[in-house]
Amino acid sequence: MGTSRQSGPWSEKGSAGKAAENNASSASCCYRCIECNQEATELYRDYNHGVLKITICKSCQKPVDKYIEYDPVIILINAILCKAQAYRHILFNTKINIHGKLCIFCLLCEAYLRWLQLQDSSQHIDPDDLIRYAKEWDFYRMFTIASLEQMAFFIGIFAGLWLIQPTTLRRKSNFILLLKALLLSSYGKLLLIPAVIWEHDYTPLCLRLIKVFVLTSNSQAVRVTLNISRKLSLLTILSGLVLESSVVCFFQRMGWDVESDCSIYKT
């Protein structure tokens, strides 16, 4: 429980540990206990002579954040397993600031996948295909459509939350934190690229599993961020999916070849 350590092991903790150390310098920042979600003022206390002691949660009597000692790979594995403690560590107790870049990269992956599907689905030889710029514009179009669908999904989640439990989004900080959590928890979309590169007979199944994994991660992120029930978080994800599907339906009625998730996963 209350472990005292020399400074040696702490210097080898990796990025999570370093982030926590940086966090410790800002005393005004609030952390969360990864076990019970109770707020905490510090993750560990730095005594003289390099002796550090992990803070114990006053509510549940467990270490506030055991993951500050863990290797980042272990934390990532726990996050992949959708453990709420790992999500709380990443979302509340670290200063990970890659959600914007990650979102752009995920959208690029998705746009690339749709662009590939578009090339495969075009049976006829269009003279425009001979022009490189036409293909390039197709990619930009897919990127824009993927972005709009992603936006619709998030708006659907926020709208669902607003309708079901309006008190959760009254604080601006909750809104921003939830948006960051949703962007971070969509990291599973990075798997789209290897799934396409190592193409085989089970690729459509892989794409469906990736979609399920991303939705599960999103649901867990909503649940942990707002500290709501699993049922409510699933409902919000469902409302996001409904709005996203409506947008896809609208695009298809407009006659746009969107190659969206639905059309990809139906193959």
Q: Which residues bind Zn ion (CB under 5 A)?
A: 33, 35-36, 38, 57, 59-60
DSSP run (H or E) holding 233: helix 230-253
Return the number of the residue (40 or 113) whose C-beta is nearest Zn ion: 40
> DSSP E strands: which ranges in 87-229?
none
Closest CB 61 distance from Zn ion, rounded Å: 7
Q: Least distance in Å: CB of 92 to Zn ion?
A: 12
Query: For residue 32, what are the contacts with CB-CB under 8 A and spacing of at least 6?
Result: 38, 39, 40, 64, 88, 92, 93
Helix (H, G, I), strand (E, B) or coil at 212: helix
Angle at which helix 72-80 crosses helix 15-25, to 10 degrees, equals 100
**Amino acid type, 186:** S
Q: Specify the residue for token string 């510090």.
A: 42
The residue (of 60 and 196) whose beta carbon lies closer to Zn ion is 60
Please, which residue, 35 or 110, has the CB nearer to Zn ion?
A: 35
Q: Which is nearer to Zn ion, 57 or 68 (CB)?
A: 57
What is the 8-class DSSP label of residue 62? S
The minimum distance between CB 239 and Zn ion, in angstroms, equals 31
For Zn ion, which is the closer residue by CB, 59 or 165? Answer: 59
Could you tell me the smallest distance in angstroms from the CB atom of residue 11 to Zn ion?
27
Minimum CB–partner distance for residue 60 and Zn ion (Å): 3
**C-alpha span between 122 and 99 (Å, rounded):** 34
